[in-house]
């Protein structure tokens, strides 16, 4: 008798091959290997076999674990004699997330979690423990959860850092933003018929022109995607180019170097504004994604694979030209969105708070300093330099600028609070309280009534 080959639906209905399997293994991969959550989920072979609804459920379970990890662990702790092995703990966390936050019937979360552990010889002996623990979560979890707070979900080292930098009220507000599902922000291409609201009728237009959708859903299925009318970009990430335009005027025809350009939202903005853009990044795979978005939107840019610290303009790198007295005129504008801990993106990437450490801040701060030094070299006299990061750590923002201005007295710091792109945000947030010396410090709970925004630091300079 021939053995029947299970089809996708049968696999989906088997706990080992369902959303819970993908979620639990994704959570373990993030916590054990520092893999970004999106990759930890989507790189699993089984993920592609799941139906769209089950993929969404897998992502939801895993994201909820990271949004509520501190609270979940506080609920689980009284029921655990010792910490289980990594996968078993991931299964418990996913099960608790379903019971406590996703309105999954406790019996379904318990049975699914137990069955998942039984599918592997390595974890089968943990099934009884999981059954007992999750049943108690179903019975007593709500009472224990009421004794927790959203601050429990922020790692201690970040709580200390943010409390010192921004105060108790801001820390509490950011913790509240962490547990909320973020909306989807898009930037529309200039000249699209009907402009912002008509491109996506359900979208809310935010200050600066960003269109915000309440729910992300399937991005590629949204109106205007295939036509290249827009691209995904948080309102904070769109600000550096908008501010640049405020400072220098029309970008059409201006030479702009976009350093560390991938995945390319700023390159698309610059190209759409008519700038002559050079997009520089050391990661060829991420630049391929940028090229795909350029093709989809019908925009053009000069894409260059290279190390931002070492890269030179072609003529500048030619020894013969240098020996002939060649002088690098530089770019009209340079934007450096430097690699960082990305702690400001926790609304969209809650796992980032669990994978970054104080040591990461140290190493990235050193890299940022080198990149900023290199970026300054490419700015022509009279040109503009924008430095930004999506980190909430002062060492990756304010401290970098202080050191830079001490070394480069030929650069003048611009005040950004009065720029047209910032004024609408200033009117409805505490940005004037957090921003110092002309730079912008954006916190995730700003415009919280509209869904918040990524944490960001932005500074601008003019070369004398």
> Is pLDDT above 90 for 203?
no
* End-to-end CA gap in the chain: 83
Residue 313 and residue 377: Cα distance in Å, rounded? 11
Peptide bond into 263 cis (omega under 30): yes
Q: Which of 298, 294, 258 is nearest to 276 (CA)?
A: 258
Tens digits of residue pLDDT in 282-291: 999 999 999 9
* Dist. CA 132–CA 386, nearest whole Å: 55
Summarize pLDDT for 394-415 with one digit per residue, the tens: 999 999 999 999 999 999 999 9
Q: Cβ(23)–Cβ(94) under 8 Å?
A: yes
Give 257's strand partners. Answer: 278, 334
What is the rounded distance in angstroms from the CA atom of residue 238 to the CA atom of residue 185?
10
135-146: pLDDT as tens digits: 999 999 999 999
Q: How confident is the model at residue 329 (pLDDT cuts 50, 70, 90)?
A: confident
pLDDT band at 300 (very low <50, low <70, confident <90, very high): very high
pLDDT digits (tens, 9 = 90+) for 118-177: 988 999 999 999 999 999 999 999 999 999 999 999 999 999 999 999 999 999 999 999
Q: Degrees (nearest 5) of the Cα angle 248, 251, 256? A: 95
Q: Provide the pLDDT for residue 11.
A: 39
Domains of the chain (ranges; CATH) run 8-148 (1.10.940.10), 233-463 (3.40.50.150)
The yes-or-no verdict on residue 8 having pLDDT over 70 is no
Please report the pLDDT score of residue 205 as a whole number: 80
Whether 195 has a pLDDT exceeding 90, the answer reads no
Positions marked active-site:
390
- Extract the tokens encoding 305: 């694979």
pTM metric for this prediction: 0.91
Residue 200 has what pLDDT?
Answer: 60
**CB-based burial of residue 205 (10 Å sphere; 0-12 exposed, 13-18 middle, 19+ buried)?**
middle
β pairing state of 255-259 and 230-232? unpaired
């Amino acid at each position: 008798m021939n053995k029947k080959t299970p089809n996708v639906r049968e696999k989906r209905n088997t706990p080992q091959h369902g959303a819970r399997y993908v979620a639990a293994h994704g959570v373990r991969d993030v916590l054990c290997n520092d893999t970004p959550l999106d990759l930890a989920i989507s790189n699993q072979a089984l993920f592609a076999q799941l139906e769209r609804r089950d993929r969404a459920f897998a992502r939801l379970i895993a994201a909820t674990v990271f949004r509520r990890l501190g609270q979940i662990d506080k609920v689980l702790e009284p029921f655990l004699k010792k910490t289980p092995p990594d996968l078993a703990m991931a299964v418990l966390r996913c099960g608790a997330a379903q019971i406590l936050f996703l309105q999954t019937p406790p019996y379904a979360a318990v049975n699914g979690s137990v069955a998942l552990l039984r599918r592997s010889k390595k974890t089968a002996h943990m099934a009884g423990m999981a059954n007992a623990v999750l049943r108690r979560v179903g019975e007593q979890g709500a009472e224990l959860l009421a004794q927790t707070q959203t601050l429990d979900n922020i790692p201690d080292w970040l709580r200390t850092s943010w409390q010192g930098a921004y105060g108790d009220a801001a820390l509490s507000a950011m913790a509240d933003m962490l547990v909320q599902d973020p909306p989807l922000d898009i930037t529309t291409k200039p000249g699209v018929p009907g402009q912002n609201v008509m491109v996506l009728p359900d979208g809310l237009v935010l200050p600066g022109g960003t269109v915000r959708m309440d729910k992300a859903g399937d991005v590629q299925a949204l109106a205007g995607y295939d036509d290249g009318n827009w691209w995904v970009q948080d309102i904070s990430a769109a600000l550096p180019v908008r501010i640049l335009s405020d400072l220098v005027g029309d970008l059409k025809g201006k030479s702009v170097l976009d350093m560390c350009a991938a995945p390319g939202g700023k390159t698309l903005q610059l190209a759409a504004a008519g700038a002559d853009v050079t997009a520089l990044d050391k990661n060829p795979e991420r630049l391929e994604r940028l090229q795909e978005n350029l093709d989809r939107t019908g925009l053009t840019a000069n894409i260059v694979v290279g190390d931002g610290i070492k890269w030179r303009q072609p003529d500048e790198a030619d020894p013969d030209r240098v020996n002939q007295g060649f002088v690098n005129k530089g770019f009209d504008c340079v934007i450096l969105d430097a690699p960082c801990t990305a702690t400001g993106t926790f609304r969209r990437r809650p796992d980032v708070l669990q994978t970054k450490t104080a040591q990461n801040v140290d190493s990235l701060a050193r890299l940022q300093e080198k990149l900023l030094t290199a970026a300054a070299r490419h700015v022509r006299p009279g040109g503009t330099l924008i430095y930004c990061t999506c980190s909430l750590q002062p060492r990756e923002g304010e401290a970098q600028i202080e050191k830079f201005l001490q070394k480069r007295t030929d650069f003048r710091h611009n005040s950004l609070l009065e720029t047209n792109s910032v004024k609408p945000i200033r009117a409805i947030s505490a940005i004037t309280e957090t921003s110092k010396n002309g730079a912008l410090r954006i916190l995730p709970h700003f415009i919280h009534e509209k869904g918040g925004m990524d944490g960001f630091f932005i500074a601008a300079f003019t070369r004398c």
